[in-house]
Amino acid sequence: MTETKTGSVGTTAAHEIHGLLERMVGQSLPIRIIDWDGNESGDAEWPAVHVRNKQALTRIAYQPGEIGLARAFVTGELDTEADIFEILDQVLPIVQTGQDEPTGSVSKTELLGIARRLGVIGKEPPAPATEMPRRTSAAHSRGRDKESVSHHYDVGNDFYRLFLGETMTYSCGYWRTTDAGLEQAQRDKAELISRKLGLRPGMRMLDVGSGWGTLLIHAAVHHGITGVGITLSTEQRAWAQAAAEAAGVGDRVEFRLQDYRDINDGPFDAISSVGMAEHVGAVNLPTYAAALHALLRPGGRLLNHAIASTFPPPPPKRSTALRDNRSFIDRYVFPDGELETMTTMNAALEQAGFEVRDVESLREHYALTLRAWVRNLREHWARAVELVGEERARVWWLYMAGSAVAFETGPITIFQTIAVKPHHGAAGLPLTRGELIGNLLHP
């Protein structure tokens, strides 16, 4: 570790923080720390983390691990001018530890002691305004689900367009090559889903969690379907209906503000659910699967496209009634979002009466998609801050970059499941996946 700017080792906040972080990780940490007085610790060629003011360390002392670091980053108290992916590769081992627990070789008590020695400890700072307060209403009730969706999706269509691009598709693209480009990957994803569903002119399709309408509009334009898309976001619905009119299919597709539990005008020939199941919650998976099964005609296909954990959920932490164990993602990004394993999700489909016929992982595809979104956000940073404020823009920056690394390293994945509602034993599927997808598999 190099000397600090004052010429002495071990006497500045930068050096103390660097040593603290290394103990928290349990290994050498090749990042450079620059403290609020401009002192540095670390080699000059290492990516730099700026501790802009003392309050950053106060947050970390009170909330060791993910929440303290995230709050300091969202407020700009922790910052970097380096490539955020370089930083996350080093910091994620800290972020992934539990808050309010001993971290590495450093306990919360010891953290508070270090903060006092540096003269930075005081009353715990309030959470940033962008953090969703802890709620007392029942999780996954209709009202709370709508509130959760609005927290994430109703921050402004113009903001989303900055990083989603012209397709306005907020889910994993399908990258036939790594340099295909975001728009092409999203168009190919819409076509991939359409082919897996076996869409044909005259079919009636339901898109659950239809977002800004791209998939359903693609299916209407290119495959001749009629359809219904449902969302709980007022801004998404308004955009989608206008986009359908502009594409000339406004008379064939309808977008509704509706909960999936309230659809009563089935049956549908095909159902897609893209990025929706993550919002359902484990307790409601049987309800979700049964509702889609009831809405699908016999012999029809469901495509369920969902992010999943690659590990079983951990056991509940102790004293959960007294401690707020919500993660950064739950507090800032997707309130009440829950990632199940692929096995759990597909078991719920089977228990509802579906026959699972095909499962495809697209883990690397989502990493590519997220990196493209991060590039777009950073290229339009000034406009993003103008539209939603710096704190919220920093939330999206951190969550998308962190998610990209998580998809690359494997704690989360994403899969597409084709499930069929059996009809006299016939599934109506071709014999091979190649026949199912056609030449999309072979550009």
Same domain, 106 and 183: no
Which regions of 383-437 does DSSP assign to beta strands (E)? 412-420
pLDDT at 98: 41
Domain membership flag for residue 1: no
Domain count, the chain: 2
DSSP state letters, 351-392: HTT-EEEEEEE-HHHHHHHHHHHHHHHHHTHHHHHHHH-HHH
The answer to whether residues 5 and 33 touch, using CB atoms and an 8 Å cutoff, is: no
- What is the crossing angle of helices 390-409 and 363-379, to 10°? 150
Residues 404 and 278 in one domain: yes
| Residues 396 and 335 both lie in one domain | yes
pLDDT at position 313: 62
pTM: 0.89
Q: Identify whether 56 is part of a domain.
A: yes
- Do residues 355 and 229 share a domain? yes
Q: How many CB atoms lie within 10 A of CB 316?
A: 8
User: Are 22 and 170 in a shared domain?
Assistant: no
**How many CB atoms neighbour CB 33 within 10 A?**
26
Name the residue among 23, 83, 5, 9 with its Cα closest to residue 49: 83
Joined tokens for residue 27: 């290994």
Question: Are both 200 and 80 inside the same structural domain?
Answer: no
Phi, psi (degrees; rounded to nearest 5) at 388: -125, 0
Please count the residues of the chain. 443
CATH number for the domain spanning 172: value is: 3.40.50.150
For residue 270, what are the β-bridge partners? 205, 301
The reply to whether 19 and 91 lie within a common domain is: yes
pLDDT tens sequence across 285-323: 999 999 999 999 999 999 999 999 987 665 555 444 445
Q: What is the pLDDT of residue 8?
A: 41
Parallel, antiparallel or unpaired: strands 32-34 and 40-41: antiparallel
Residue 329 domain flag: yes
What tens digit of pLDDT does each residue of 196-244 get? 999 999 999 999 999 999 999 999 999 999 999 999 999 999 999 999 9
Task: Say if 129 falls within a structural domain.
Answer: no
314 in a structural domain: yes
Regarding whether 147 and 83 lie in a shared domain, the answer is: no
In terms of C-beta distances under 8 Å and separation of at least 24 residues, what long-range contacts does 94-97 make, across chains too?
94/21, 94/24, 94/25, 94/65, 94/66, 94/69, 95/65, 95/66, 95/69, 95/70, 95/328, 95/402, 96/65, 96/66, 96/411, 97/24, 97/64, 97/65, 97/66
Instruction: Indicate whether 4 belongs to any domain.
Output: no
Three-state SS at 237:
helix
Helix H or strand E encompassing 302 = strand 296-309
133 in any annotated domain: no
Q: Domain range for residue 389?
A: 142-441
Q: Which of 117, 133, 158 is the last residue of a domain?
A: 117
> Among 84, 117, 150, where does a domain finish?
117
For residue 125, tell me if it sits in a domain: no
Same domain, 90 and 161: no
Burial of 41 (0-12, 13-18, 19+ CB in 10 A): buried
**Residue 71 sits in the same domain as residue 109:** yes
- Report pLDDT for 2: 43
- 20 and 91 housed in the same domain: yes
- For residues 105 and 26, give the distance between their C-alpha atoms in angstroms, rounded to a whole number: 7
Q: Please give, one letter per residue, the 3-state secondary structure of 213-236.
A: CHHHHHHHHHHCCEEEEEECCHHH
C-beta neighbour count of 431 within 10 angstroms: 7
Among residues 78, 101, 117, the one where a domain terminates is 117
In the prediction, which pLDDT does 90 show? 72
Whole-number pLDDT of residue 357: 94
HSE on the CB side for 412, CA within 13 Å? Answer: 19
Q: Based on the fold, state whether residues 388 and 342 are members of the same structural domain.
A: yes
Q: Which residues of the chain have pLDDT under 70?
A: 1-10, 91-105, 312-324, 426, 439-443
